[in-house]
Homo-oligomer: A and B are copies of this chain.
Amino acid sequence: MNVHSFLLSLSYQIKHMVALSKSDIKRNALINATIKLVISNGFHATPMSKIAKEACISPGTIYLYYKNKQDLINNVYLHVKQKFTQAIFQNYTNNTPVEESFKIIWYQIADYRLKEVAEALFLSHCDNTPIIDDESRKEGIKHLQPLLDLWERGQIDGIIKKACPYVLYAYAVYPLAFLINAKQRDDYELTDESKEQAFKMAWDSIKITEHKS
């Protein structure tokens, strides 16, 4: 390869990078705009034109990235869900004892939701509302597999109650959504202390108690 062709290739790559970048920037702006507007207005009360304006692009451009409004919301949902589960399972290994593992994951869930409030509200909104396609919803649940595996391990070890995953999720994870919603609406403060307490309650609910209560 001579210098000339190398430079050509380089220029192409840079150009391509920039092109990718540009498109990724837009895609990201689009996602954030969608999240922001959906949590404050609801999906159907959020026009595509406003999403476009918030993302600083033209309404027509959205359709270069997504087939239609439903496709947009489905994809944003999956994107956020994925980002969320990626965050909460980082560093997870199945060597760690069950309780410790659960504690790590639970705090990572809590901290993520406290840091990324908009995303948390968005997920809560989508999960309690019929706006997401069944297919996408099921796709989103899959990502939780490590948590389900952990619970199964805990059940085998006699540490965690023999409830089905839905029930365990309802008590161990779902309440956090309520607390984030409340925090957003009622100035309820979720301090480190009350976070600790919430964790204890989550764990108390799913662990097996040796003594009768």
Contact = CB atoms under 8 A, between A and B. Distances in A.
Nearest to A39: B130
A129 interface: yes
B178 A164 contact: no
Interface stretch (A88-96, A104-112, A201-209): A201-209
Query: How many copies of this chain?
Result: 4
Interface of A: 39-45, 124-125, 127-131, 134, 137, 161-164, 166-167, 169-171, 174-179, 181-182, 185-186, 188, 194, 197-198, 200-207, 209-211, 213
Contacts of A202: 171, 205
Contact of A129 (B128, B163, B170, B205): B128
A185 to B, nearest CB: 8
A169 B163 contact: no
A93 B178 CA distance: 28
Contacts of A210: 211
A166 B124 CA distance: 17
